[in-house]
Amino acid sequence: MVKGFSESEVKNDKTIKEFKKEKKGLAAFLKGKKFTYTLPGKKQINIFGSVVLALNIILVLMVILYLNNQGFHDFIFNVGR
């Protein structure tokens, strides 16, 4: 006999069913639904990557403009009020 395992099969199905709680709210609504997640395709990855890079470049340019151009600095300062 291997340590940690019993030779006889134990039937505890009744006690396990008693402890199961019924789902409520959103979980009960989604219980019967089947959702599958699919990985994004190459085209979608390229689009999101391009958007993120473009926004980062715009942010860097605006920070440089904020630090070097007094008119833009004043505009941002007054808009933030």
Any domain includes 67:
yes
User: What pLDDT does 13 receive?
Assistant: 55
Any domain includes 55:
yes
Spell out the long-range contacts of 55-63 with Cβ–Cβ below 8 A and sequence spacing 24 or more.
Answer: none
Total domains in the fold of the chain: 1
As a residue count, the chain comes to 81
pTM for this structure? 0.52
What is the CA 3 to chain-centroid distance, rounded? Answer: 42
- pLDDT > 70? residue 1: no
Most confident residue range from 5-9, 12-16, 66-70: 66-70
Any domain includes 64:
yes
Range of the domain at 55: 40-81
Q: For residue range 46-64, what is the model confidence (pLDDT) as tens digits? A: 999 999 999 999 999 999 9
Question: In angstroms, what CA-CA distances link 57 with 22, 25, 52?
Answer: 51, 44, 9
Any domain includes 79:
yes
